Amino acid sequence: MMTTSMTTSTATSTATSTATSTATSTATSTATSTVTRGAPHNALSGVQLKAAQLSLEGFSISGLATWLVAPELSVCFDMGECPLSAVPMDHVFLTHAHGDHSRCLMRHHALRKMLGIEREAVYYLPEPLLRPAEEWIRASARFEGARGVLRLPRLEPLRHTPASAAPTPLAYRKNASVRAFDADHGVPSLGYTLYESRMKLRREFVGLPGAELAALKRRGVQIEAPLHIPHITFIGDCTIETLRREEELWESRVLVVETTFIDDGEERLARERGHTHISELGALLRERRGAVGCEAIILKHFSMKVRPHEAVEAALRHVPHEEHERVYLLLDVPHTPQGLSLAQLAWR
């Protein structure tokens, strides 16, 4: 009886072990294949490119991290990760609160203090997020065991501003300003257009001699008017409706937009999740043929499951051929130099 019992127990144990091992192996294999379908990503390592004479470095993979640094403007858009190249940037624009766009906001603040940067960075964010951001920062300080009186970073809430209104000057750049606009993503979310701002002689005074202009100024006549030239527009996440509604963004020299979804048949899913499908962008570019003033359009925020070559192929398929010269992908394509336009990628 004991031998039979031991044999039964051994067989049961072996079968259970085998089944468990097989199930674990299958689950591990499935999980691994899901993760490794796309290329391995390092969110601290950005893609570098030159767009409309503007140097940019950034990373953007959906669910992992999004950030974009523009050193000449001392600006970083979103802070899903905080590379060292972003730390000196004085102005940080947060599009929305999802973690892959926001979680390293306080990391940026802390690293500036650690590296001895005395100037206080300015963190611009959607107005509805101001109070939650303050609560989040206080909770983080308690979690880390911070001692003493907590001094909040400089948070500047922004709200949608009509294109007809004057943009908001940047804190540390007299010749730059920003306009925020609503982005459709299901949570409080903004897109941002940065302007090169300067004074320009009013039309009625063009052609007058310098001495006469000087005399007018001495009499208190306002001979100049502000001129705001859209330099770069950045949108974190949005549906195609944002791109249809905000007409002015198509005049930005550089336009940075998301194309999270690329697979055929996922257009409805993209809209339901507050994202843009690359086919929708392609269709809109065809609709706007001849009415796109951008020098560069940068596509970002591809899904983690997407391999870089699949994103390139989808862009080549959906983006109108005449737009290929000014379209770039914020992706590190293996065995390919960074910063190539879609037209250049087509030849590789």
Mean of the pLDDT values across residues 5-28?
43
Within a domain: 249: yes
Domain count within the chain: 1
Q: How many whole angstroms from its chain centre is CA 276? A: 13
Whether residue 344 has pLDDT greater than 70: yes
Calculate what percentage of the chain has a pLDDT beyond 70: 87
- The residue among 122, 120, 104 whose CA lies nearest residue 112 is 120
The larger pLDDT score, comparing residue 347 to residue 4, is at: 347
Residue 219 lies in a domain: yes
Q: Is residue 13 part of a domain?
A: no
Q: Is residue 14 part of a domain?
A: no
- Asked if residue 330 is part of any domain, the answer here is yes
Q: Which residues contact 253 (CB under 8 A, 6 or more apart)?
A: 51, 52, 54, 229, 230, 231, 232, 294, 295, 296
Q: What is the pLDDT of residues 245-275, one digit of tens each?
A: 999 999 999 999 999 999 999 999 999 999 9
41 in any annotated domain: no
Is 4 or 344 the better-scoring residue by pLDDT?
344
Nearest of 255, 337, 333, 328 to residue 288 by alpha carbon: 255
Per-residue pLDDT averaged across 280-308, rounded? 96
Establish if 116 belongs to a structural domain.
yes
CATH code (residue 337): 3.60.15.10
Query: If you average pLDDT over residues 205-233, what whole number do you get?
Result: 82
Identify the domain containing residue 157 by its residue range: 46-345
State pLDDT tens for residues 48-66.
999 998 999 999 999 999 9
15, part of any domain: no
> Can you give the pTM of this predicted structure?
0.84
